[in-house]
Chains A and B, each alone.
Chain A
Amino acid sequence: MIGITILFTFLAILSVAFYAILSKDITQSVILFMGVGLGSVVLFFIFQAPDVALTEAVIGTGLSTAVFLLGIRHTSIDKEMES
């Protein structure tokens, strides 16, 4: 059962990462990247590493996404033109 769970979680992570790379909208890409971190949390918990799972839950899905979202407001052109 654990093997099947690992397999399907990996499939979810791979598809989310693929769409995060190919997406045209950068904001959507950042939100999809959060899904990669979320799937990693599940996998770390299955691999009996609760310390790493807690770290990834705080950083990969919380602070990293916030830093990206605050950063893209100053590296995109069209957002600045309309303001």
Chain B
Amino acid sequence: MLDFFNSNETIHFIITVGSMLLFTIGLYGIFTQKNLVKVLISFDIMESALFLFFIGLHYNFGLVAPIVDGSDKTFTNMVDPVPQAMILTTIVIGLAVLALGLSFGIEYFRLTGINDISKMNELRD
């Protein structure tokens, strides 16, 4: 039983199905929710799902983090550092883009008093 849970295939299956379900929850929130802040939260949940997918798929059982200490100075038997570096910068940029979207929402609410996205119909025919 424990060997089944410690194999690479099982871990990758759990990561894939879990992050896809998280992505689907975020997508459902975007389709059904009306509040502006709720839609932004749904976007962030989808983003978290993609981060987990990227990092988790490059983890194999028995590998260690790509940092050496003083004793053994070889870079072997380590996880892939390239997706970690990409996700590292993406998280920081995600916060800045989230703040930009929220500032658009604040300005729109100040001008019109509407925070329901189904009532934003100024550009409709």
Contacts and interface: CB of A to CB of B under 8 A. Distances in A.
A and B touch in the complex (CB under 8 A): yes
Interface of A: 1-4, 6-7, 10, 13-14, 17-18, 20-21, 26, 29-30, 33, 36-37, 40, 43-44, 46-52, 55-56, 59-60, 63-64, 67-68, 71-72, 74-77
A39 B29 CA distance: 19
Contacts of B26: 17, 21
Interface of B: 2, 4-7, 10-11, 14-15, 18, 21-22, 25-26, 28-29, 33, 35-38, 40-42, 44-45, 48, 51-52, 55-56, 58-59, 61, 63-65, 67, 79, 84-85, 87-88, 91-92, 94-95, 98-99, 102-103, 105-106, 109-110, 113, 115
Contacts, number: 139
A67 B110 CA distance: 18
A64 B98 contact: yes
Given A13-B22, A52-B87, A26 B38 contact: yes
A47 B59 contact: yes
A14 B56 CA distance: 16
A33 B38 CA distance: 10
A56 B11 contact: no
A2 B11 contact: yes
A33 B92 CA distance: 17
Nearest to A5: B5
A41 B50 CA distance: 14
A21 B115 contact: no
Given A68-B41, A75-B36, A17 B25 contact: yes
B109 A74 contact: yes
Contacts of B56: 43, 47
B84 A51 contact: yes
B18 A14 contact: yes
Contacts of A37: 48
A3 B45 contact: no
B52 A43 contact: yes
A83 B48 CA distance: 35
